[in-house]
Chains A and B, each alone.
Chain A
């Protein structure tokens, strides 16, 4: 699974209240959530992401709440993959369950710049940028099976069929 696109870059500890503020959690409609993704720190995010982007960020991206709307909002806004130095556990699972791939890449924020065009192999974790190949950690094992099925519920149907 290969994904390509331009980079939007953020720092460490991008929390779920940044990704989708609590006042929007009474809704699950992807189109609505997309318009409010990253609102507190980047009100233009929705416009920037709409053509398809790759987020690069620092440590514990997605820390905080269990709100699945965080994964839904980013994907619906146009994010194709998130590359971060580390991820919060709940957010990671929510992304897998909503078909948003993730790459863990130490030093991602040092190696990759805003606007770079990045090519990512979701399974091997290889990230190509500026003529170089960086080795990150992709998605494997049960998480990959769930991602490929289209989420845990689809996976359940498949394994119980």
Chain B
């Protein structure tokens, strides 16, 4: 039989040939949690009197949501998890100075063909390297931590084909917003999206991670890029490892498919209060902006900082601008390449290794009536702070251009 990537991964993980709709028990290759969900995972295990771990080397813990702790309760939560990590002797622990969990998973752990579950919805990000990755709640993750298994319904596969090369200011965000604008936030419920890239180098892993990250905003069960030469090169560069590629069979059958011509995409935004309220940046170009956020597990990688630095070089921001690389590695690269210096000189606040403003945590909570342009993943009402704040989602080029002018701006329109 010929299988999609979804079917092949889940067949391997469950030890039998699977089809869409099957309820299966799958072995998990990586189980992960962060500070804000991790304390809850541990609480569930303790309450059930089942504090044990199926395989220490396969658990990944990173502090990101409450990093560095903005209040006493956050510090207490982190302290409790540090104690758990020490007691159970988990080797893959990343404290507040390393980065955002989803970014660390693709930089250091995730491999093509794996099944990854973590206590955070944006776990789909690991689909960038061809892993079947799902977010789950604390109880499901606790069960996976203990047993190394989880139950799943095998999703219907949907194929997306990316053709050609994106324009200078186009990024993975524009592909994610294109899919959300076209299909809306409920269409992919119960489906896994498999993205085939015609020209691997034209759509690097940075961009892929942004699209996979927002698979959850499409309500897809998973969003995976079919691993290719770019995936192999990324894993080799980041980890020095030769990855084996699992790919769909020739002639694999998909429920439906959609093609995006990358060279035709325009810089897009999602207007308040929904991720699928998609417009071109030009359509919203009269909207004044109070604050810009460049970062998060959606768009805090080196290519995002390259675009932002190119736009802000030699300029001064007219809207408050907060820029947060998604990990220590991304911060270090951005520093070595001069992007941090450029952003600081333009008047941006730069730090690293935190989810910060994305969930209204800290480092830039939105006030009533404020308009925010954010490269993060969600613009739900109240998400970044006040219920009366308006959040526009965009890629880094629109965000940086908007910081430069103080209005929502298509980077192609900058003088």
Contacts and interface: CB of A to CB of B under 8 A. Distances in A.
Contacts of B382: 17-18, 21, 40
In this complex, which of B36, B123, B380 has the most chain A Cβ atoms within 10 angstroms of its Cβ?
Answer: B380
B186 A86 contact: yes
B23 interface: yes
Given A26-B36, A66-B119, A153 B50 contact: yes
A19 to B, nearest CB: 10
Contact of A63 (B137, B140, B185): B185
Interface in B288-303: none
Contact of A156 (B123, B143, B359): B143
B219 A89 contact: yes
Nearest to B378: A64
A83 to B, nearest CB: 16
B296 to A, nearest CB: 13
Interface string A9-37: 00011010110011101111000000000
Interface stretch (A91-99, A116-124, A127-135): A91-99
Contact of B48 (A12, A89, A154): A154
Nearest to A62: B219
Contacts of B140: 93-94, 97, 152
A86 B185 CA distance: 11
Nearest to B121: A66
Nearest to B184: A59
B83 interface: no
A157 interface: yes
B259 interface: no
Given A89-B221, A154-B48, A23 B73 contact: no
B17 interface: no
Contacts of B48: 153-154, 156-157
A63 B77 contact: no
Interface stretch (B37-45, B169-177, B202-210): B37-45
A86 B44 CA distance: 27
A68 interface: yes
A98 B65 CA distance: 24
Interface string A69-92: 101000000000000001011100
A142 B143 CA distance: 15
Contacts of A86: 186, 189
Given A63-B219, A68-B137, A93-B137, A17 B383 contact: yes
A23 B138 CA distance: 17
Given A18-B381, A22-B361, A88-B219, A94 B137 contact: yes
25 contacts: A17-B380, A22-B361, A25-B36, A26-B66, A40-B382, A40-B387, A41-B381, A60-B185, A60-B219, A63-B219, A64-B121, A66-B120, A66-B121, A67-B37, A67-B137, A68-B137, A86-B186, A88-B219, A89-B134, A93-B140, A94-B137, A97-B139, A153-B139, A157-B48, A157-B50
Given A18-B381, A90-B134, A98-B139, 18 more contacts: A13-B185, A13-B186, A21-B382, A25-B36, A26-B36, A26-B74, A41-B381, A59-B186, A64-B121, A66-B136, A93-B137, A152-B140, A152-B142, A153-B139, A153-B142, A156-B48, A156-B146, A157-B48
Interface of B: 23, 36-37, 40, 43-45, 47-48, 50, 66, 73-74, 77, 119-121, 123, 134-140, 142-143, 146-147, 151, 185-186, 189-190, 216, 219, 221, 274, 359-361, 378, 380-383, 387
- Among all A-B residue pairs, the 8 with the closest Cβ atoms: A68-B137, A94-B137, A97-B139, A153-B48, A17-B380, A66-B135, A59-B186, A60-B186
